[in-house]
Amino acid sequence: MDAADRVFLEDYLEFGYLGHVAAAVALYRAAMEADETASRVHLLVDLLPGDAQRTQEEARVMAERLATSGRVETALLAKLYAEYVATIEDFGAMLHAVRERRAGGLLCQYVNCREEVAEVLRLALKTEPLRLPRFLNLPHYDDLRDRLPPDVLEDVSRDLDVLAGGILDVANMYTATVGNDRPADLPLSDEWRNHMWIVLRYGRGSPGQIRPIRLVAESYNKIKHRFLVIENMKALVGAVHDKDTLVYAYQAKDRGLLEALVNSVAGVVTRQMELGAMLLTLDDRDLL
């Protein structure tokens, strides 16, 4: 393994893994403390500096009057969902980098990975059975048996099998749908406040179908780059011109979903850490 690749993996195991998990935990805590977060938002955005205690009370009253807490929960759910998808794409980039490390090195492939993320996750789902030595261009089991002590061989073999299942789990997460992208099927009743709505496409004529494998990624991009999360989708649909097409996805709001997303982020990061640790173990034995 190239020296830069090794330093990168070691740094990830000590520091880099914190990025997605710490962000997810922070978003979750802010959502769980939505009243305090809402007051803080109004304090920063709407109120001029003045008497600190009086201003904080005014912010609290404003947040309560405008029902900002529920809106804060929706906004943070969207951001946490984006962090969840970013974590999956990061893992996909690492898988691609490991597969193609012989062309310039793991770090080079990881830094420059773009569309390959979806491709490697899709390939994992199509590969039956998923054997990591072949999928990630790692040493074959027979080679490991000849080069590793029995206890290390047992650990690495077990890790390879467990990680293969983990990769499939993550790939399935990436291809899962977010609500629905068909406007006719959406519950545009007075319960619209109970959902998070994401505008995916808008324009004259047909925008074309969104493939299921792209639905998660498109939702993520619209949250990350534009924050195209709409509160009153019922009103927006009613305002769209007949000749225009609006495509959007939705997700029911649920505090349990917030916790599930945090746990999923941690799970994906754990798999990426396991992969990194295994690569370092193999490199210690000059097997990469």
Q: Is pLDDT above 60 for 129?
A: yes
pLDDT at 51: 67
Tokens, residue 132: 């990591």
The SS3 of residue 170 is helix
Q: What share of the chain is helix, strand, coil (3-state, %, to 5)?
A: 70, 5, 25
Q: What is the pTM of this model?
A: 0.90
DSSP assignment letter at 224: I
**DSSP code of residue 139:** P
Flag whether 251 is in a domain.
yes
Q: Is 77 helix (H, G, I), strand (E, B) or coil?
A: helix
**CA–CA separation, 181 vs 281, rounded Å?**
44
Q: Is residue 241 part of a domain?
A: yes
Distances from the Cα of 149 to the Cαs of 154, 160, 174, 261, 278, in angstroms? 9, 16, 37, 39, 15
- Is 152 within a domain? no
Average pLDDT in the 179-207 region? 66
Mean pLDDT along residues 58-83: 94
Give domain status of residue 189, yes or no.
yes
Block residue for tokens 């977060």: 37
Q: How far is it, in rounded angstroms, from Cα 28 to Cα 80?
A: 7
Domain residues for 194? 183-255
Q: What are the CA-CA distances from residue 4 to residues 1, 88, 147, 220, 287 (Å)?
A: 8, 24, 24, 31, 17
The answer as to whether 217 is a domain residue is yes
Cis peptide before 207 (omega within 30 of 0): no
* pLDDT tens, residue by residue, 28-51: 999 999 999 999 999 888 876 666
Count of structural domains, the chain: 1
229-230 vs 244-252, strand pairing mode:
unpaired
Q: At residue 232, what is the residue type?
A: N
Please indicate, yes or no, if residue 239 is contained in any of the structural domains.
yes
Specify the DSSP class assigned to residue 107: H
Tokens 């490199």: give the residue.
Answer: 283
State residue 17's pLDDT score.
97
Kindly state the tokens that stand for 217. 């990624």
Tell me whether residue 137 is in a domain.
Answer: no
- Does 50 map to a domain? no
Residue with tokens 């794409």: 89
pLDDT tens readout for residues 73-112: 999 999 999 999 999 999 999 999 999 999 999 999 999 9
